[in-house]
Structure 1
Amino acid sequence: MLLAIDLGNTNVVFALFEGRQVRARWRIATDPRRTGDEYAVWLSQLLALEGVERSAIDGIIVSTVVPRALHNIQVLARKYFGLEPLIAGEGAAEYPMQIDVEQPRSLGADRAVNAIAAHARYPGDLIIVDFGTATTFDAVDFNGAYKGGIIAPGLNLSLDALVGNTAKLPRIAIEAPRTESVIGTNTEDQMLIGVFWGYVAMMEGLIARMKTEIGRPAKVIATGGLAVLFQQHTRIFDAVDADLTLDGLAILAERARSQ
């Protein structure tokens, strides 16, 4: 079995693969201070609930955008699984694609593995929208080359900035407005309209501009926690793929094993 670990700014996602199928996935808040021992206690309990022995895991791969947290994940792999983890973008897990930007090494591992998985799953030119701490828009051409993209504040970051920098605005939950009206009649509704429909308008506008610049038909693939929420209120997505990042890690691990 393969243990794939997506170490993001907000959460760390652990996924257990049997072949190319996800058997289980677990999520924990990202904290660079969390030790390998703490990860081991938490993960061992979850594996036991799934009926999986640690010895059944014969490979570990990690993608990270939080370098400070990587060391403790490596300790987890080495001390408790007796494995040297693959690191996405390095060594045997180097990206098998052209990265056509000014500073290829600056491309986040999550965006790179998204591109690898999306190209493997969907033909043609692609725009990948990933809803994370930041929302990213990535262009991948029909040959699988990464062509560049956009980084925008994530929805939670936008809401935190709005509430944190105003004296009287309340904290609100992120959810779809009750109606499609964009004229709110109370403070909470007006905030939700601004955050939610404002975000939809931003996505639709940026994707339209990207498609024009690409100059060929492009499928839009969404991933990340809020993708399903927005899918119900816009037609810009051709597919929502919750496991895109994890599948990209599985592809890299499979490729590394075959070398």
Structure 2
Amino acid sequence: MLLAIDSGNTNVVFGVFDGVDFVKAFRCANDPKRTADEYIVWLSELMKLNGLDYNDITGTVIGSVVPETEFNLISLCRRYFDGEPVVIGDDGVELGIEVLIDRPEQAGADRLVNAREAHVTYGGPLICIDFGTATTFDVVDGDGNYRGGVIAPGINLSLEALYMASAKLPLVEIAPSKTVIGKSTQHAMQSGIFWGYVSMIEGMVERIRLEYGEDMKVVATGGLADLFAEKTSVIQHTDRSLTVRGLIGIYRKNRGNR
């Protein structure tokens, strides 16, 4: 089995593959203080509950946007999975795409992994939207090259900032309100958060397509991808396992199927 580790700003996702197909994903809060020993206790127990044995893992790959967490994840792979992980961004690790931006070293590992896997799965040109701590729009050309993108505050971050910065506004659920015009404070906030984000998604996709000069597919991933895809026609595909599949694809490009 292969293990893909996606270390994001909020969560770390561990995706298990049986060599052919995606099997299961496990998620925990990203805490830089969590040690390799703590990770393995948590992960091995969850794998056992799902009929999996961590001793069967033969290869690991890590994509991280949190440098403080990366050391302990690498230690986890070395100590408990008996091998050196493929780490996105390390010298010699081939992504299989060209990163055609001014400072390629600044592109987040998750964005490049998503770009590659979205093109492999859906073709291009395309826009990949990732609903994470930040909401990102990444542009991939017809040849699979990464052309840049947009970074906006994530919806949970925006909602929390609104709640923290105001004395009387409540914390509301992220869900579509029945009407755009709110008849109460909570209704108005819910509309502003949800339909405001839908409008941002639709407007940004339109502007990117106009600037790029071609029609483009739109693929969405991340925890809220399905919720927003239900309410806007600009998203053609949702793919919750895009990042971990992309990590496995890069592992295989660099290490084969072993």
Structural mapping, 1:107-146, within 5 Å: 107-146=107-146
Question: Take 1:151 and 1:9, find their aligned partners in 2: how far apart are those partners?
Answer: 14
Deviation at 1:93, TM superposition (A): 3.0
Question: Take 2:124 and 2:70, find their aligned partners in 1: how far apart are those partners?
Answer: 34
Match of 2:204 among 206, 209, 216: 206
Question: Take 2:72 and 2:124, find their aligned partners in 1: how far apart are those partners?
Answer: 39
Deviation at 1:147, TM superposition (A): 0.5
Contact 2:94 2:253 in 1 (8 A): no
Match of 1:227 among 222, 225, 228: 225
Does residue 33 of structure 2 align to residue 54 of structure 1? no
Structural mapping, 1:36-185, within 5 Å: 36-177=36-177, 179=178, 181-185=179-183
Q: Deviations over 1:106-130 (max 9, x none)?
A: 0000000001101101122000000
Contact 1:223 1:240 in 2 (8 A): yes
> What are the ranges of 5 or more consecutive residues in structure 2 without an aligned counterpart?
none
Instruction: Give the residue type in structure 2 aligned to 1:128.
Output: C
> What are the ranges of 5 or more consecutive residues in structure 1 without an aligned counterpart?
none
Deviation at 1:19, TM superposition (A): 2.2
Matched residue SS, 1:93: coil
The root-mean-square deviation of aligned C-alpha atoms, in Å, is 1.2
Instruction: Give the residue type in structure 1 aligned to 2:164.
Output: G
> What TM-score comes out, normalization by structure 1 length?
0.96
Deviation at 1:92, TM superposition (A): 4.7
Instruction: Give the residue type in structure 1 aligned to 2:121.
Output: R
Higher alpha-carbon deviation: 129-138 or 85-94: 85-94
> What TM-score comes out, normalization by structure 2 length?
0.97
Higher alpha-carbon deviation: 1-10 or 76-85: 76-85
Question: Take 1:233 and 1:50, find their aligned partners in 2: how far apart are those partners?
Answer: 34
Residue equivalent to 1:10: 10
Percent of aligned pairs sharing the same letter: 48
Deviation at 1:258, TM superposition (A): 3.1
Deviation at 1:155, TM superposition (A): 0.1
